Amino acid sequence: MFDGLQDKLALTLKKLRGHATLSEANIQDALREVRLSLLDADVHFKVVKDFINAVKDRALGAEVSASLTPAQEFVRIVHEELTKTMGGEAVELDLRHKPPVVILMCGLQGSGKTTSSGKLAFRLKGLGRKPLLVPADLQRPAAIEQLKTLAKQAGVDVYDTKAGMKVAEVAREALEMAARQGQDTIIVDTAGRLHVDLELMDELREAKELLSPKWTLLVVDAMTGQDAVNVATEFKQQIGIDGVVLTKMDGDARGGAALSVKQITGAPILFTGMGEKLDRLEVFHPGRVSQRILGMGDVLSLIEKTQQVYDEKQAKVMAKKFKKAEFSLDDFREQMKMMRQMGDMKDLLKMIPGVEQAMKKMGTGGPDPDKEMRRIEAMLSSMTPEERANPDVLNGSRRKRIAGGSGTSVADVNAFLKRFGDAKKMMKKLSKMGPGGLKGLMRGLGM
C-alpha cells in the first residue's frame, strides 16, 4: 500500500535536507515533485491542486518552528495536510440506536462487497454485537451461497434467502427474524452490477426505503484508483452513502482512492480491507495512513494488533519467565504462533519507524521475515517436547535429526540455538531495563 508514492516522496524530502531554510524557490521545487507523485498515484487532480496550495501557504507562512529543520518542517506540514485530506480523524461506526440497527452494504460486482459484509459481521461479533447477515443480492445466487459460507465461518446467523425471492420479501422477513432472535444488527449484502445503471439504483432505493438503514456503506475496490472515486460520487448522488469501505488496499501500491474519496464525495472512509481473512477489516485512521505514506511507520496500529492477540494475564506470566530466564523453546514457539495471528510479518515490521526503509535498502536479497519464521517453526516442530524444554540435551546427532526433519542444515539449527541461548542470557538484564531493552532483545535474536 502506497509504496510508489512513499518512495517518491522520500526522494523529494531528501533533497530538502540540504537547505538551511524553507524558501519559495526550494518549496516550489519540492511541491512540483510532490504534485507529480500524487498524480502518478492516481489521486484526483482537484485533490492534488487543493493539497499543494494548502501546503505551499503553510510552508511559506510564519508558523515555522525553531526546533525543526526545514525538511522536518515540510514533513510536518505535509503529514497534517495529508491527514486532513483523508478526513482528519477516524470515523466510528456508531450503532447507538434502537435495535436492530440496519447496515446496508452496496457497491459494484467484484468490489468485495460480500466478503466485506462477512468481515464486518465478524468484527461486530468480536465487539459484543449480535449481527444477522442478510443475502440480498438476488441477481447472483453464488453471492447468496458465499455469504452463507462466510456467516458459518464468522459464527453468526444468516437469513436463508431463497432463489426467486423479491427484495421486499427478504427485507420484511429479515427484520422479523432479527426481532424474534434478538439480533441487534442487520448487515444486508445488496445486489451489484458491472457498472452503475438505472436498474441497480432503483433496486438499492427500494431496499433503502424498506429497511431504513442507520448506515449505507459503499464498498469500492481501491485498485481501480480514480474509478473508485467516480463510483463513490455516483452512489453518493443517486442513493446517498454514509461511509466507504476500501477493499484490496494490500494490493494497491498507489493509494489514489484513499487520498481522494473523502474530499471529493464528502463520505468518510470507515474501513479498509487488507486481505481475504475475516479479521482483515481495519478501521481507517487518516493520521496513521499519512504516517505510513511518509515512512514514519504506524506504531499505534501495531500496538492494537498486539493487544488483540496477547491478554494481560499471559503477558504477566511471560514477564516472570523473562526475569527468571525460564523462557523455553515451547514458549518461543507459542509466541511465534501468536505473531502469525497478527498478520504478515513484512507488514508488521513496516509499522515500526525506519524498518521499512531498511528493508527496501536490503532489497530482494535481504531476509524474508515470514520465510525465516517458517524455517524456525519447522525446526521447533522437529524437536521432541524434552528437547524444547531443555535445549542442553541437543547433541550432534539430535541436531542432525532436527535439520533433516525440518529441511534445514545443521548449521541453521546451530545458529538458531546460539541466538536463542544468547537472548536467554540477556533476559534477566533486559527485564530490569526500560523500553530501550527491547532493542537489545531484538539484536540478541538476530533481528
| Total structural domains within the chain | 3
Give the per-residue pLDDT at 19: 65
Give the per-residue pLDDT at 58: 85
Tell whether 146 and 204 lie within a shared domain: yes
Which has the minimum average pLDDT: 116-125, 165-174, 195-204, 378-387?
195-204
Is residue 441 over pLDDT 50? no
3-state secondary structure of 96: coil
- Cα separation, 305 vs 307, whole angstroms: 5
pLDDT-derived band at 366, boundaries 50, 70, 90: low
* Cell numbers placing 317: 506470566
CATH code at position 34: 1.20.120.140
pLDDT tens digits along 106-134: 998 888 899 999 999 999 999 999 999 99
Asked whether 90 and 285 are in contact (CB, 8 A), the reply is: yes
pLDDT tens digits along 15-48: 776 666 667 777 888 888 888 888 888 888 899 9
* Predicted TM-score of the model (pTM): 0.69
Distance in Å from the first CA to the final CA of the chain: 24
Tell whether 177 and 118 lie within a shared domain: yes
Mean pLDDT, residues 216-232: 86
- Cα separation, 121 vs 93, whole angstroms: 13
Mean pLDDT over the full length of the chain: 80
Which position has the higher pLDDT, 61 or 389? 389
- Which range in 258-262, 282-286, 314-318 is most confidently predicted, on average pLDDT? 282-286
In DSSP terms, 182 is beta-bridged to none
pLDDT tens digits along 302-326: 555 555 555 666 656 666 665 555 6
Tell whether 289 and 317 lie within a shared domain: no
131 within domain boundaries: yes
Tell whether 123 and 205 lie within a shared domain: yes
Tell whether 358 and 411 lie within a shared domain: yes
Please confirm whether the linkage preceding 213 is cis (ω < 30° from 0). Answer: no
The residue out of 245, 264, 296 marking a domain boundary is: 296
- Give the number of other CB atoms < 10 A from CB of residue 378: 16
Give the structural domain span for 324.
301-444
Give the per-residue pLDDT at 193: 80
224 within domain boundaries: yes
Asked whether 390 and 401 are in contact (CB, 8 A), the reply is: no
Give the per-residue pLDDT at 71: 72
423 within domain boundaries: yes
Mean pLDDT, residues 185-208: 87
Tell whether 339 and 359 lie within a shared domain: yes
CATH code at position 151: 3.40.50.300
SS3 string, 131-198, reads EEEEEECCCCHHHHHHHHHHHHHHCCEECCCCCCCCHHHHHHHHHHHHHHHCCCEEEEEECCCCCCCH
220 within domain boundaries: yes
Which position has the higher pLDDT, 300 or 210? 210
Which burial class, exposed, middle or buried, applies to 198 when counting CB atoms under 10 A from its CB (0-12, 13-18, 19+)? exposed
Give the per-residue pLDDT at 67: 52
Tell whether 209 and 320 lie within a shared domain: no
The residue out of 241, 276, 296 marking a domain boundary is: 296
Tell whether 240 and 365 lie within a shared domain: no
Tell whether 272 and 143 lie within a shared domain: yes
pLDDT tens digits along 334-358: 777 776 666 666 666 555 554 455 4
pLDDT tens digits along 68-115: 667 777 888 888 898 999 998 899 999 989 899 999 999 988 888 999
327 within domain boundaries: yes
Tell whether 65 and 132 lie within a shared domain: no
Share above pLDDT 90 across residues of the chain, in percent, rounded to a whole number:
28
Give the per-residue pLDDT at 435: 45
Give Rg (Cα) of the chain.
26
Asked whether 9 and 37 are in contact (CB, 8 A), the reply is: yes
The residue out of 296, 331, 360 marking a domain boundary is: 296
- Cα separation, 100 vs 95, whole angstroms: 9
Which burial class, exposed, middle or buried, applies to 416 when counting CB atoms under 10 A from its CB (0-12, 13-18, 19+)? buried
